[in-house]
Amino acid sequence: MRRKLICMLMAGSIALGALSAAGCGEKSENKPFPVYKDDKEMMIGGWDAPLPTLEDYRLAKEMGLTFMFLDDLFVKRGTQAYADVLGYCEQVGLKTIITLGNAATIESAAESWAADKTDYSKFPAVTAINYWDEPYFSNIARIAELTEEHVKKYGSEIDVFANLFPNSATGTFEGHTYNEYVGEYVDKVLAKVEEGHRYLSADIYPLDKKSTGESALRSNWLNCIETIAVQAKRVNAVPHFFLQATEHYTYRAVTEEDLRWQFYVYMAFGIKAFTYFTYRTSILEDFSNSCVDAQESGKKYPLYDYAKAVNREIHDFDHVYLNFDWNGTMPVLGTQSEQDYNLNFDGLNNPLAEVAALNGAQATQDALIGQFKDESGNDGLIVVNFTDPAYGLRNTVSLDFKNASKVRVYKKGVAYDYQVLENHFELELGVGEGVFMIPVK
């Protein structure tokens, strides 16, 4: 809270060099902007729980995580050691999502779950139970059964969670489209869950590497995000995605810019919850080091500090962003882009042709503009430099507002206020950068 207040005070007195250089005009002074209570927090979690010590869970909290998926690698469900870990989470202020299994292990996991007589509602840290990781289409009926059992036992005290495949796993849809697969989960599972306690999650990792070692962006990424976002909006569910954090298989290593970029691309589609895949270095082969070590307590890797910096920025304005509802995303082809098309843009089913608050927009490189409204009718925009951060491209974005005299720009968590001259505003986005903007008449 204290850092957020400091950031807001700084907004009136510190010039933002990149924006000023882009010719946005003078800073706006003594003009009202919407004020939002600091009572909302972005869900940011970790997959692969740390070593089972109080200090290791405190380290996770200090990275800016709000929850942890808790598997039974180090501690087994139903044991005192497991209860101790739930206590550690409570002490440091972390929520937990208990994880059962996937398509290969779920039946044995469900049996052990049925045999586990622990009442997890007695543990304040437990916020949800992840019943299934990456179900096939035909598994959704079984998740619906587990959900009915869950609701009878816990009601809405503990939420139901499951994580779906990405749109590239076509064989798991068993003859259906990705939209039908996601829709089946929404209609068969989330319909059984009380509104306000629904989550719609998927994993997709966008940053690949070619055989030459060069970075390659997966062309199906935005279609996957859009599908989850639209289906979540249909039933007022919280949309959640896993962030690519750990180098594994063909997915490349990431930098601080890559992490920041993923957040803003997802947020341009209204995504409201995230999990680092992975937090702890995986015990599986072909996984590189992640945020913390799997064997040495308290040992951090560089990714930990990258994530901590980005998480802090997100938390500095999450209470503002979370007051807005997403209403679509407009892709903008760059005037200086090497190609006159973008396969990710082409994959969108319902891209916006225009943004309600704008007469037009241009960008030197490809960009995304997410459109938002708060309950009072104020406009919000997420503007993202949609270029792979590995290629180091900056992006000048020009916005022509319909009727705005000033704009508040949240950049790296800090709010800066500017006058808008003749409804025209320009900003320069650095590598992997995005901003959240609130224009005011």
128-174 residue pLDDT tens: 999 999 999 999 999 999 999 999 999 999 999 999 999 999 999 99
> What SS3 state is found at 114?
helix
pLDDT score at 115: 81
Confidence of residue 12 (pLDDT cuts 50, 70, 90): very low
In what helix (H) or strand (E) does residue 264 lie, and over which residues does it extend? Answer: helix 256-267
Domain residue limits, the chain: 2-30+325-440, 43-320
Q: Residue 84 pLDDT > 80, yes or no?
A: yes
Percent of the chain residues topping a pLDDT of 70: 91
pLDDT at 114: 77
Q: Could you give the maximum distance between any two Cα atoms of the chain, in Å?
A: 67
CATH topology of domain 2-30+325-440: Immunoglobulin-like (2.60.40)
CA distance 284 to 264: 29
With tokens 């489209």, the residue in question is 177
Closest residue by Cα to residue 297 from 92, 43, 55, 26: 55
Q: Which CATH number fits domain 43-320: 3.30.365.10, 3.20.20.80, 2.30.30.40, 3.30.70.1150?
A: 3.20.20.80
* 111 — pLDDT class (breaks 50, 70, 90): confident
Q: CA angle, 417 as apex, 413 and 420 as ends, to 5°?
A: 130
What proportion of the chain, given as a percentage, has pLDDT over 90?
A: 88
Of 26-30, 190-194, 306-310, 360-364, the range with the lowest mean pLDDT is: 26-30
Residue 80 has pLDDT above 60, yes or no: yes
Burial of 288 (0-12, 13-18, 19+ CB in 10 A): middle
Alpha-carbon dihedral angle through residues 434, 166, 224, 366, given to the nearest 10 degrees:
50
Give the pLDDT score at 2: 38
Q: Residue range 203-222: average pLDDT?
A: 96
pLDDT of res. 31: 60
Choose among 421, 330, 425: nearest CA to 371: 330
Please give the C-alpha separations between residue 288 and each of 209, 279, 304, in angstroms, as whole numbers: 14, 11, 13
Give 338-366 pLDDT, tens digit per residue. 999 999 999 999 999 999 999 999 999 99
pTM as predicted: 0.94
